[in-house]
Amino acid sequence: MKLKCPKLLITTGKGKERQAIEEVVNILFEYDSEAYGVKTVFDGVVLVYTSLDPKFALNVVKKKPTSVIFKVVPLEACVKTSLESIVHKGLELARKYISEGDTFIVDCIRRGRLVQSSVVVERALGKIIAEKLGGIVSFKNPKYIVRVEIVGEITGISVLKRDEILRRRGRGGTVK
C-alpha cells in the first residue's frame, strides 16, 4: 500500500490542534474543499492532507491571518521512518534543487524514537548530498534548507529556501 503523504506540517500550542486544523482547512477550502488535518500523538503537531502542491498551499496560508498556528512547513515527499529511507528520499529530492557548489544545511526535527537522533539524520543526509551532488554545508547562510520532519512513523522531507517556512507569533498571525 502506498503511503499517503501529508503536504503541510503545522505546529501550534498544546491543546490548540483542533483549532489549528479548522483554521488551515478553512483557508485552503477555496482551492481544495477536501483538504483535512490530522492531530498527531505529539502535542501541538498537526499534519495536513491536500491535493495542492505543498509550496502553493503554504503561500495560500501565508496570505491569511491565523490565531493559533505557530509554524507551517511544506512537505514535498514522505517516507516510512527509517534512516535508510530518509537518506534515500532526501537525496532524490535534493537532486531537483542542489547543484555543485550550492550551499545547504540539513535540519531535522525528530518526534518519536524510530531513528537514533536528529543529528544522525542530519550528518548522514548532509554527507551524501555533499558527496553525490557537490553541495557545500553552510551553517551560517545556506541557499537551501533540507528539512526533515519526523513524526513517528511518517517522515516528511522538503528542500526549501528560508522564506518557505512560515513562522508566526501570537494572535493575529504576524509573520516572523
DSSP per residue, 76-127: SEEEES-HHHHHHHHHHHHTTT--TT-EEEEEEEEESSSSS-HHHHHHHHHH
Q: Give 32-80 pLDDT, tens digit per residue.
A: 999 999 999 999 999 999 999 999 999 999 999 999 999 999 999 999 9
Assign domain 8-76+162-175 one CATH number from 3.90.180.10, 3.30.230.10, 2.40.160.20, 3.30.70.100.
Answer: 3.30.70.100
Q: Give 67-109 pLDDT, tens digit per residue.
A: 999 999 999 999 999 999 999 999 999 999 999 999 999 999 9
- pTM of the predicted model as reported, rounded to 2 decimal places: 0.93
pLDDT of 172 higher than 60: no
Q: Report domain extents, the chain.
A: 8-76+162-175, 77-160
pLDDT of 125 higher than 70: yes
Q: Which residue has the cell 522538503?
A: 158
72, 96, 150, 152 from 111: Cα distances, Å? 16, 27, 6, 6
Beta-bridge mates of residue 166: 72
77-160: which CATH architecture?
A: 2-Layer Sandwich (3.30)
